[in-house]
Amino acid sequence: MTNDVAISLNTAQRLYWFGRYVQRAETLLRELVNSYDYVIDRDVDDGRKLYAKLGVELDYSNALDFLKQGVYGEHSSSIESIIRWARENAIETRHLLDERGFAALNKIHNHIVAGRDSVVSPTSLEEMIDDFALILGIFSSELGRPKAYNFIRLGQYTERFDLILRLYSDLDLVNAELEGMNAIARRLNDSYQPLVISATDISEVLDGVNGVISRVIADKTSSQSQSQG
């Protein structure tokens, strides 16, 4: 039996952004760990190139410092700030979230805050990736509130596509998975018009992907809303 509650505009936006930030944290953690090896073995500038794709000029002196800057650097894509935003959105929607999932995220946040003055090791980041996989798994097992979960999933899809396009410009991959996103959006809003990707220009596709939320919810400003993150 489901126990779906009416979801307000604010809550819908928070759930969506929660999904985005969790996905962003998990993906960027993976990218950081991968790039760490590249910085050591192949190309000392690999980390700079990675962050340049996100619009961030990252400076570091060695591989460990690269991790430190990736996690704690003063930029909008730092893992610390992404997790902080994920937590902020989770706090505002925790009445709809699985308690264990919330606690797992909060623990990661507390761990990150407490470790600010410590060295960041790749092992600790790998553990964090596992924790995020656990969080996403917990939410996927939440059967009682499907609408809330679907907003999280929509956020995850959007973020995943956004990063695939920004980091790898892989239009085919986005196209292959697009129906999944459209299906979730349709479940959230019967009158949703599916997104079709016909353009080849990445920035145009990015606009389309990031605009899906505004076809689902009534607030036309939501896709650009920075109040959520």
Partner 1 sequence: MIEPVSPEYKKFYDIFESVDQTKVSEFKDFLDANAVNFNLFKDGSFIERSFPFDMIPRIIPKEEFDHLEAGIIQRVKALNAFLNDVYGEQKILNDGIVPREYVDSAKGFLPEFMGVISPKGIRTHISGIDLVKDAVTNKWIILEDNLRVPSGVSYPLTIRRAFRHTYPEFFESMKISKIKQYGDQLKAAMDYVNTGGLNVVLTPGRYNSAYYEHSYLAKITGATLALGEDLIVENNEVFLRVYNGERRRVGAIYRRLDDDFLDPQEFDAESLIGVPHLAAAYRAGNVAIMNSIGNGVADDKGIYYFVPQMIQYYLNEEPLLSNAPTYLPYYEKDREYVLANIDTLVIKDVAEAGGYGVLFGNRLTPKEREEIIAMIVADPRRFIAQEVIEFYDLPCMMEGEILPRKADLRAYVIHGEEISVSMGGLTRYAMEEGNYLVNSSQGGGFKDTWVVEL
- Closer residue to partner 1, CB minimum distance, 107 or 116: 107
CB of 116 to partner 1, least distance (A): 16
CB of 83 to partner 1, least distance (A): 14
Under 8 Å between Cβ of 73 and 66: no
- Closer residue to partner 1, CB minimum distance, 209 or 213: 213
- Closer residue to partner 1, CB minimum distance, 71 or 216: 216
Phi-psi region of 55 (alpha: psi -120 to 50; beta: other; left: phi over 0): left
CB of 107 to partner 1, least distance (A): 5
| Inter-axis angle of helices 9-41 and 122-140, nearest 10 | 150
Q: Burial code of 36-55, b = ≥16 C-beta within 10 A, e = fewer?
A: bebbeeeeeebbbebbeebe
- Closer residue to partner 1, CB minimum distance, 68 or 145: 145
- Closer residue to partner 1, CB minimum distance, 165 or 188: 188
CB of 39 to partner 1, least distance (A): 34
CB of 225 to partner 1, least distance (A): 13
CB of 174 to partner 1, least distance (A): 25
- Helix, strand or coil, per DSSP, at residue 26: helix
Under 8 Å between Cβ of 205 and 171: yes
What DSSP assignment string belongs to 68-125? HHHHHSSSTT-HHHHHHHHHHHHHHHGGGS-HHHHHHHHHHHHHHHHTTTSPPPHHHH
Which residues here bind partner 1, judged by CB under 8 A? 3, 5-13, 88, 91-92, 94-96, 99, 102-103, 106-107, 110, 188-189, 216-218
- Closer residue to partner 1, CB minimum distance, 11 or 23: 11
Which residues lie closer than 8 Å to 213 by C-beta, 6 or more apart? 13, 16, 154, 155, 158, 222, 223
Q: Rounded distance, CA 136 to CA 23, Å? A: 9
